[in-house]
Structure 1
Amino acid sequence: MKKWAFVLACCLLTGCAKHAPAASSKVMIDYPKSEEITYSQTDTSMKALRVQKDQVYQGNLVLINKDHEVHPEGIQTDIVSLLNHQELINGFGLLDNTIELSQNVVEQFGKMVAAAAKDDVNHFVISSGYRDFAKQEQLYKEKGSDYALPAGNSEHNLGLALDIGSSLESMDQAPEGKWLKEHAADYGFILRYPADKTDITGIQYEPWHFRYVGLPHSKIMQSNNLTLEEYLDWLHEHNTVYVNVDGQRYEITYKEVRRETAFQIPANHTYELSGDNQEWVIATIKL
């Protein structure tokens, strides 16, 4: 579907031409059997992490689409008005002064923009970020299903998605769009609605809509040309994988959580948890 902000600014920020997936070297992935999962001697101190059911609806990998709604627990707790946080606006512009977004996502976006500037790509604009349910419902009533999603079914209600444009030309033609297609995954972002996956996402090609999922997930998805829907299915199929991305090794474990479950986490390693917005939780451990 088209996004309302880009309908209003289509001459500046939109495009409709199709594109091929970005070229990327394959990440290294291992598929161990459960009985083969071991840790090094430095990992012998393990802790059982108790995960409650509400974790299913929280995290960077929660699936939001027409069949999976945003739960209140899943909305980012660090939503800020960018107008009131000028220190976060470095190297990019805003389409208007009402834009809100997760502070963490803005910070990661800022790192990405700074990297692009080193390649002389520096005309980024954020057109839209977080929208609360009331604003989304109002837009849906005003614009209809051709231009908006119902309240609760839009990634913009989550705080992890943003619409990115260029002040030069449409995103499918602009240097900013081309740079993001190649490098966004290095900073944890994915192009959420690719041209060749409309039958899976249910949304037409949107070269401006990016979603933060974090590393190493963005790199795995880019390398294997996977949408978020396909990536979660892939994790579900394998349950546990080991991944080497840019010299860092990760363990990714996918477990069902009906009421409460325990993840065995090496005590001396950092980790992140994310639900899938269905019945499963993903633990991502740096090894």
Structure 2
Amino acid sequence: MKKTIVVLLTCLIVYQFYLSRTPALTQSISLKEVSLYQGDLVLINKQTKIQEDPRNLSTVAKQVSETIVEPDLLLEDHVAAALQRMMQRAKKVGIDHFRINSAYRSGKLQQELYEEYGADFALPAGHSEHQTGLSVDIGSTRGKMKQSKEGRWLAKHAHQFGFIIRYPKGKEGVTGISFEPWHIRYVGLPHSVKMYEENWVLEEYLNYLKQEHAYQIQIAGRTYFVQYTKHRALKIPDTPVFHVSGTNAKGFIVTSRLQK
């Protein structure tokens, strides 16, 4: 028994050392100013306004399990694809009574909602995540999301598909928004997993990156290396698979998928 425990502890220490090790940074990339305001990790809130409109909107698929999808809803194409994968996975375990109510909104529509419902129920144009094409409101046809099977399943599994509950309970002081179990935001992997594991909202995650500058994480057999920088030139690992996102402020986040 003691021998088994020693072996397990040794494996854990080796694994933690592997994850903490910085890979060789041998590839040079240049970052463009316009990228500061684009990507899956841009911060949009009451203080920070959207700077770039989405460019690759796709219609949300209507053939998603028993989900009811309001007509003509749009999301960024990679987000729409991730949403469909998530809904299909939920259906496999018998969770299939979602209602997709809202996705991309134009600035004009957002302002109309703000003027009609007021600041208690809507944000002014330029300050709503719905204008990014990265956020979607998902309800349940069986009741309120915070009490339904659909809401519980999303809260537990959305991060596996690159999504987060953007305004969780207990984080109102950080986000400035009351608990909204229906408001789902795409940030992509591995960011959604890191935020879920640490119980962070997007504001907290971006602050972490600004302080630490880099971290490594392994998810489902894939290893990711995440870097934050304010500079236009950066050294990253030697990999053909990397993604750049701005923060909508003064920083870039580069996510590299390491080769085995």
What TM-score do the two structures reach when normalised by structure 1?
0.80
The equivalent residue for 1:239 is 213
* CA distance in structure 1 between the partners assigned to 2:195 and 2:256 by the alignment: 17
Q: Does 1:69 align with 2:63?
A: no
What is aligned with 1:22?
A: none
Percent identity between the two aligned chains: 37
Q: Deviations over 1:51-100 (max 9, x none)?
A: 0111111110000000111112xx32111344xxx5x6322534532422
Kindly report which structure 2 residues correspond to 1:187-206, keeping only aligned pairs within 5 A, or say none: 187-206=161-180
CA distance in 1, matches of 2:69, 2:88: 19
Query: Where does structure 2 lack aligned partners over 5 or more consecutive residues?
Result: 1-14
The answer as to whether partners of 2:239 and 2:256 remain within 8 angstroms in 1 is: no
1:269 maps to 240
CA distance in 2, matches of 1:220, 1:92: 30
Partner of 1:225: 199
Q: Distance in 2 between matches of 1:116 and 1:262?
A: 41
Q: Distance in 2 between matches of 1:269 and 1:151?
A: 37
Aligned AA (2:51): H
Q: Is the 8 A contact 2:214 2:228 kept in 1?
A: yes
Contact residue 97 and residue 141 of structure 2 kept, 8 A: yes
Larger relative contact order (C-alpha < 8 A, sep ≥ 6)? Answer: 1
Aligned residues: 243
Name the CA shift for 1:28/1:178 in 2 (closer, same or farther; >3 Å).
farther
Q: 1:112 aligns with which of 86, 92, 112?
A: 86
Q: What SS is found at the alignment partner of 2:109? A: helix
Q: Secondary structure in 1 aligned to 2:31? A: strand
Contact map agreement 2:241 2:257 (CA 8 A) in 1: yes
Q: Deviations over 1:17-41 (max 9, x none)?
A: xxxxxxxxxx969556xxxx443xx
CA distance in 1: counterparts of 2:16 and 2:208, whole angstroms: 15
CA pair 31-67 structure 1, distance change in 2 beyond 3 A: farther
Q: Note the aligned Cα RMSD (angstroms).
A: 1.9
The alpha-carbon distance between structure 1 residues 266 and 95, as it changes in their structure 2 partners (threshold 3 A), is closer
- 2:44 and 2:94 mapped to 1: Cα distance? 34
Matches within 5 A, 1:48-87: 48-72=28-52, 75-82=53-60, 86=61
8 A contact 2:162–2:192 mirrored in 1: yes
Question: Normalising by the residue count of structure 2, what TM-score does the alignment of the two structures yield?
Answer: 0.88
Residue ranges of structure 1 left out of the alignment (5+ in a row): 1-26
